[in-house]
Chain A
Amino acid sequence: MQLKPTDWRAALAGATASLLAPVAPITAHAAGSGDGSTPWLVDSAVLVYSEAGGRVKAVEPAVGLKRTDAAGVSTGLKLTVDTLTGASPNGAVAQPGVQTFTTPSGKANWEASAGRVPLDPSFKDTRVALAANQERPWGADTRLGYGANFSHEYDFTSLGANVSLARDFDRKNTTLSLALALEADQLRPVGGQPLALKPMFGAGSGKTGNGTRNVADLLLGWTQVVNRQWLMQLNLGLGTGSGEHTDPYKLLSVVDGGTGLVTGSRYVAEGRPDSRTRTSLFWGHKVSLGPGVLDASYRWYGDSWGVRAHTVDLRWRHPLPGGGFVQPRWRHHVQSAADFYRGWLVEGVDWDSATQSTPLAHASADTRLGGFSADTIGVTVGWPLAKEQMVTLRLESYRQRQDTLAGAPGVLASLPLTPDLKATMLTVGWSFRW
């Protein structure tokens, strides 16, 4: 016996106290407990996302149902609808004068304000996504999971399937998991997919038909109970996508190397590589400290397009009297630009309007592929309504600060080429048993 007898006695006294702690509640449970139908846990939430400056607004309601039966088989269903409106940058660079663009359908034109980054207002889309999954025990220590997901919007459909295996070791202190997800996407851009790195409008432009893209992802996970207060998770994600990656609605401006004004072919459709391989390493911790819980995570990301990113996410969940909680959160994300990211094409260097050709293999002015740092600051408040019913309210502010683009020629040097992206997000949630 490792323990001294007196320590042993104290431990036994503690174990006895735990056994005898509930007295009256047990008699109520005893009759026919542990059997009977298990209820569905329903989680519902609505996200209202709004970018400043007349940009994107989205409302996204989501509902998830989950149920675990007596044999440990858990089934989940999720439905998400998202409606998007508002304006989004199309990749063109700001100019001192008004710029006119044609909408993707080709039926209308829109104007970008002078001195401002052009924002295409023609995006209105509704997307519906459905996911179903099940996880079941397979032997004493292993769990098998499988699921499918489907997503549909006017110009894009995605169908995916996933399978996972998780195994517990050492009294479930260690869990190792392997998961594989496959996805097949169909792209049906409005007006067709523009020929990559060819003029976007007018002579020399062209469209091809629908495109496809296939993605495969592998996730290796290690979850470890460090001690009574600390849970740790390390995930390695490897992914590869092949097929159409180019955004059909985005372009680059062709500017004069001296004046910085659009010239020649003016606007050229972007072109991205046919494949993308990604690696991510996620290291997350949940630590129970005093009354609250700290959630701290770091994710490293790198891909074959040259993007490198670091994301730190910190949350502190503090209980409130009455069963609720308040959770402030700070997320910081910094990424480096993709290799082929550029703010514009320079006539005679990156683009030759006479031959409508470029020495570049790929190019994109999509700021999502650019270098930037972003901060999310917010707070979530939850409070219980009744037994196993909770309402949550989350308010967050997201701000993306783009890296300044070097070598801006001519007038571009004095224009706001990379304004910050500012967004507010409000999420209202309601969870209950059914």
Chain B
Amino acid sequence: MKNLLLNLRRTGAPLLLGAVALLGGCAQMGVQPWERDLLAQPAMAPEGVPLHGDLDDHVYFSKEAATGGRSFGGGGCGCN
């Protein structure tokens, strides 16, 4: 746990702060319910093309050390 907090402080925290700075403009963010026309397009879905995300996660999990991102990996494999 101690290592985790150290990591955050060194590099994670400045990134988080940068993201939180966006909150300053929070009052202006958002749309009315009927302004969701563009957001409703399939191209705007967070997951992208179905299954591509899972397949990518598996490939990069087995070839690289880093994990994490949009969602949890779907489960373990013996490959790392």
In the complex, is A directly touching B at CB under 8 Å?
yes
Judge whether B46 is part of the interface by a CB distance below 8 angstroms: yes
CB atoms of B77 and A151 under 8 A apart = yes
Determine which of A234, A235, A301 lies in contact with B66 in the assembled complex, contact meaning CB atoms within 8 Å. Answer: A301
> Would A333 and B66 be within 8 Å (CB), given that A156-B78, A228-B38 are in contact?
yes
Query: At the interface, yes or no: A116 with Cβ under 8 Å from chain B?
Result: no
Do A429 and B49 touch across chains, with their CB atoms under 8 A apart?
Answer: yes
Given the complex, which residues of A lie within 8 Å of B70, measured CB to CB?
Answer: 233, 235, 282, 284, 297
* A319 contacts across to B, CB distance below 8 A: 43
With an 8 A cutoff between CB atoms, is A187 at the interface?
yes
Complexed CA–CA distance, A334 and B68 (Å): 15
Q: How many A-B residue pairs have CB under 8 A?
A: 222
List residues 110-138 of chain A with CB under 8 A from any CB of chain B: 125, 127, 129, 131
A201 at the interface (CB under 8 A from B): no
Nearest opposing residue in chain B for A371, CB measure: B65
Could you tell me if B66 and A309 are in contact, using CB atoms closer than 8 angstroms? yes
A374 CB within 8 Å of chain B = yes
B77 contacts A129, CB within 8 Å?
yes
Q: How many of chain B's residues have a CB under 8 angstroms from any CB in A?
A: 54
Q: What residues make up the interface of A, taking CB atoms closer than 8 Å to B?
A: 15, 18, 43-45, 47, 49, 60, 62, 64, 78, 80, 82, 125, 127, 129, 131, 149-151, 153, 155-156, 158, 160, 162, 170-174, 179, 181, 183, 185, 187, 215, 217, 219, 223-229, 231-240, 277-284, 286, 288, 292-293, 295, 297, 299-305, 307-309, 311, 315, 317, 319, 325, 327, 333, 335, 338, 368-369, 374, 380, 382, 392, 394, 398, 400, 421, 423, 425, 427, 429, 431
Q: Which positions in B face A, CB cutoff 8 Å?
A: 1, 3-4, 7-8, 10-12, 15-16, 19, 22, 29-39, 41, 43-44, 46, 48-52, 54-55, 58-60, 62-72, 74-78, 80
Task: Please give me the 6 A-B residue pairs with the lowest Cβ-Cβ distance, nearest first.
Answer: A280-B68, A156-B78, A173-B30, A158-B76, A43-B50, A149-B75
28 pairs, CB–CB < 8 Å, chain A vs chain B: A44-B51, A62-B54, A127-B78, A156-B77, A170-B30, A173-B29, A173-B31, A181-B72, A187-B78, A219-B68, A219-B71, A223-B46, A224-B29, A225-B39, A235-B68, A279-B8, A281-B12, A286-B46, A300-B12, A301-B67, A302-B7, A309-B64, A368-B62, A368-B65, A369-B65, A380-B49, A398-B59, A429-B50
